[in-house]
């Protein structure tokens, strides 16, 4: 599992609330190098965004480690003006990845040029450490 570290975290970086009770398993997993997804253990249905544990069928929910692979469902390439905290990444390729398990999640690419991008491109997860508590799952083209 590949980890990278943000060397110069901008003081205004929009960090996620990793203590959110619904999302905590996702963020805790990312810190440990696991892409976590929620599944209904009875029907096998995947839920993204995750459903709350007090959902009517909450006792059927479980978090599983996803393979960390998927394909590019759609993407955009941001140019300036952009968020000050991410301006150093421009042109910034943001993606909607369709995970091998089914759900579509938002992410961004790393070490990828815009001209490498295409619909259906197989990708694999990379974990980017922003702080001690926050690790962001991001994506790179899959090495076959």
Partner 1 sequence: MADSLDSDLFRRIQDRVAVVGIGHLPYAKDIGRPIGDTAVEAIQLALDDAGLEAEDVDGMSMLEMEATHEVSIARRLGVRQLTWWDKISYGGGASSATIMHAAAAIASGMATTVVCHRARNRGAKTSRPWSQERGVVRDDKALHTPWGLIRPVDVIGMWAHRHMHQYGTTREHLGNVAIAARKHANRNPDAMMRDRPLDMATYLAARVIGYPLHLFDCCLETDGALACVVTSVERARDLRQKPVLVHSVAQASGPNPVHLANYNNSPEMDTTAVWCAKLLWERSQLGPSDMDCAQIYDAFTPLVVMGLEDYGFCKRGEGGPFTEGGRIELGGALPVLTSGGGLSEAYVHGFNLLLEGVRQIRGTSTNQVPDCKATLVTGASGVATSAVVFRGE
Q: Are strands 92-99 and 61-65 parallel, antiparallel or unpaired?
A: unpaired
- Which residues contribute to the site for partner 1 (CB under 8 A)? 12-17, 20, 23, 48-49, 73-79, 81-83, 85-86, 89, 91-92, 94, 96, 103-108, 114, 119, 130, 134, 136, 138
CB 76, min distance to partner 1, A: 4
CB 67, min distance to partner 1, A: 18
CB 11, min distance to partner 1, A: 8
Residue 22 or 142 with smaller CB distance to partner 1: 22
Residue 7 or 17 with smaller CB distance to partner 1: 17
* CA pair distance 13, 11, nearest whole angstrom: 6
Residue 1 or 76 with smaller CB distance to partner 1: 76
Each residue of 50-73: b (16+ CB within 10 Å) or e? bbeeeeeeeeebebbebebbbbbe
Least Cα distance to 3 among 48, 33, 29, 26 occurs for: 33
Residue 4 or 89 with smaller CB distance to partner 1: 89
* CA pair distance 83, 78, nearest whole angstrom: 10
CB 39, min distance to partner 1, A: 14
Contact criterion met (CB below 8 Å) for 100 and 65:
no
């Amino acid at each position: 599992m590949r980890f990278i570290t943000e060397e110069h975290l901008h003081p205004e970086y929009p960090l996620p609330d990793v203590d959110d009770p619904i999302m905590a398993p996702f963020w805790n997993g990312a810190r440990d190098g696991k892409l976590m997804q929620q599944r209904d253990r009875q029907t096998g249905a995947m839920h993204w965004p995750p459903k709350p544990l007090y959902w009517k069928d909450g006792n059927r929910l479980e978090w599983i480690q996803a393979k960390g692979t998927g394909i590019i469902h759609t993407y955009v390439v941001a140019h300036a003006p952009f968020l000050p905290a991410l301006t150093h990444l421009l042109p910034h390729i943001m993606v909607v990845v369709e995970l091998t398990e089914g759900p579509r999640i938002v992410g961004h690419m790393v070490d990828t040029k815009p001209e490498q991008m295409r619909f259906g491109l197989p990708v694999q997860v990379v974990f980017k450490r922003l702080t001690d508590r926050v690790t962001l799952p991001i994506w790179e083209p899959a090495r076959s």
